[in-house]
Amino acid sequence: MIIANEDQKKDLQNIAKGAGFLFAGTLMVYVLKFFYRLLVSRYLGPSDYGLLSLGEAIANVAIIFTTLGLSFGIIKLIPHYLSRDDPARVRGMILAILKISGLMSIFVAIVTILFSQYIAIGIFHKPLFVPIIIITAITIPFFTVTNSISNIFLAFQRVNYQNLINVAGRGFILLLLTVVAIAYDGKLFWIAVAYLFSHISSLIIGLYFLIRKKIFMISSEIKPKYEYYQLISFSFPIFLSGIFVQIMGWVDTLFLSALKEASEVGIYNAALPLVSTLSIFVSVVGNIFLPTASSLYAKNKTEKVAGLYATVSRWTFLSGLPIMLFMIFFSKQILTILFGAEYRTGHIALQILIGAYFLRLSFGPSSQALMMFNETKKIFYINSFAAVVNVILNYLLIPPYSMMGAAIATTGSIIIQEGLIFWIAKKKLGFVFSLKMYARYLLSGLIGISIIYWMSTHMSTNALTISVLALTYSTMYFIMLIMLGGFREEDLVIIQAIEKKFHINLNILTMLIKRFL
């Protein structure tokens, strides 16, 4: 695709800039939470870490019922009303989601506390899990309202405020409080309390910016117009769909907990954060793509959305490919170095899962594209079918194959889910992927990883050598991309955004890329 005009270039620059900010923030949160999980998994051991992971799973399932899919509704509808200069409805959307999510989260928290003993003993047969469930339940209202505020910031494309919530509260404060708890010899209970207070801190930060900044109109005198029907009719299918997405995301952990030992849950959940590195690209691009695409769609510029889709999908593919290949080839070494020898047995599950998540990344922001077209019911039908398949596969495969069975079940459901959604999005948008470009990316990645893996067989494996190999591979991959013509003219907007943000001169890099265009 060649950039046809300044408007299209501006759209790409907005996505590149927004995605860059969001990626930086998400990456920082990921690194902080990764160290948190690394610290906690080593300190608690597989069994207690498994219980903590199960508590987080319950919180993530609960937030589906407390937000009712409204977060996606405001990410689409606020940009829509902003593009039509309708501040009354924008303010109505903001107040509506805060009221609904706040009330629902309190209700779900109370129900969870009342049934905590039944959940812990009756379902999971783990009496020690009762206090963890109660702490998780108290966390739910803070988690929910913070999530709503975060998505309000995203709808306004104020990624910097969203980053502050996530980096400071859910990342740094969580890690800091956990370190304090461990320093005072705190056990599982106090680690869970640290998790609770990190979400309280996130909410305080979010409320501060939401109230203080005039752009969000919380303190405005504009009378809000509530479009409850439009918001709920768009969001409710996403809510139902979200239930099944969460089932797909956590059913493997829940089935492993019910059918296997807690240690296997802990080992499996040590692999999941590594896999989620690819989810960063999907989440970041999708979250920036939806408000931008919705604004263009409101102006009847669907053909521009197709071009943006093809470009951002290519960006996520070329960014995620080296991560996927490196983790597949060095999965056993990575788990051993990061978590210890007892987590080494999760390497096959990690290899399977990283392949599945890369497939999801390769399809691009297809769900967000369907949301733009208000095709939320189709998303619901597909996700519900995929979730049913996931439950069946987990039930059949976990007893004989344990963690590997859970990974295979997740992979199968992802293929069904993402494949169908992508097929519909492609039919509606009519975008075209350049197979020649994707072949260049694959060739660059495979040549590089082959050389790096051969080098690794001639040296001892430790944290230093793995880090050096990863850095060498990244450099080699980037050089191969340039030499094989793996970049296009529109990709230069990323470099321009970096130059503008960090006030650095990348003319040499720009000249090299243009040399091989």
Residue-level pLDDT at 517: 62
Least confident of 42-56, 275-289, 316-330: 275-289
Q: What pLDDT sits at residue 17?
A: 62
pLDDT at residue 19 in the model = 62
pLDDT at 11: 63
What does the pLDDT read at residue 104?
A: 92
Q: How confident is the model over 12-39, as pLDDT tens digits?
A: 666 666 666 667 777 788 788 888 888 8
* Euclidean distance between CA atoms 347 and 171, whole angstroms: 26
The share of the chain scoring above pLDDT 90, in percent, equals 26
Question: Residue 74's pLDDT is what?
Answer: 80
For residues 195 and 193, what is the distance between their CA atoms, to the nearest angstrom? 5
Other CB atoms within 10 A of residue 49 CB: 26
Least confident of 34-38, 86-90, 164-168, 298-302: 298-302
Sign of CA dihedral 346, 349, 355, 356: negative
Q: Write the burial class of residue 107 (CB in 10 Å: 0-12 exposed, 13-18 middle, 19+ buried).
A: middle
Average pLDDT, the chain: 83
pLDDT at residue 201, as a whole number: 92
Nearest in space to 61 (alpha carbons), one of 190, 233, 252, 277:
252
pLDDT the model gives residue 465: 93
pLDDT one-digit tens code per residue, 106-147: 999 999 999 888 888 887 777 878 888 899 999 999 999 998
Q: Alpha carbon of 41 to those of 14, 70, 261, 361, 441: distances in Å? A: 39, 34, 16, 28, 35
Q: Is the pLDDT of residue 413 over 60?
A: yes
Number of Cα atoms under 13 Å in the Cβ half of residue 65: 15
Per-residue pLDDT for 9 more than 90?
Answer: no
- When pLDDT is averaged across residues 415-437 and rounded to a whole number, the result is 90
Which residues neighbour 328 within 8 Å (Cβ) at sequence distance 6 or greater? 351, 354, 355
Name the DSSP letter for residue 156.
Answer: T
Contacts of 392 (CB under 8 A, 6+ apart): none
What are the angstrom distances between the C-alpha of 315 and each of 19, 278, 432? Answer: 11, 12, 14
Please give the pLDDT value at position 103.
92
Distance of CA 35 to the CA centre of its chain: 17
For residue 439, pLDDT over 70 is answered with yes
pLDDT level of residue 445 (50, 70, 90 thresholds): very high
C-alpha 111/C-alpha 104 separation (Å) is 11
Mean pLDDT across the stretch 150-168?
Answer: 83
The yes-or-no verdict on residue 324 having pLDDT over 60 is yes
For 36-53, what is the mean pLDDT?
83
- The residue among 337 and 47 whose pLDDT is bigger is 337
193-217: burial string, b at 16+ Cβ within 10 Å, e else: bbbbebbbbbbebbbebbeeeeebb
Interacting residues of 467 by C-beta distance below 8 A, sequence separation 6+: none
- The alpha carbon dihedral of 88, 89, 91, 96 has a sign of positive
Average pLDDT over residues 139-165: 87
Helix residue ranges, H only, 302-375:
302-329, 331-339, 347-362, 366-372
For residue 4, the model assigns a pLDDT of 47
pLDDT(3) > 60: no
What is the reported pLDDT for 127? 81
Q: Is the pLDDT of residue 434 over 50?
A: yes
Give 199-231 pLDDT, tens digit per residue: 999 999 988 888 887 776 666 677 888 888 888
pLDDT band at 471 (very low <50, low <70, confident <90, very high): very high
pLDDT digits (tens, 9 = 90+) for 354-393: 999 999 889 888 988 888 888 888 988 999 999 999 999 9
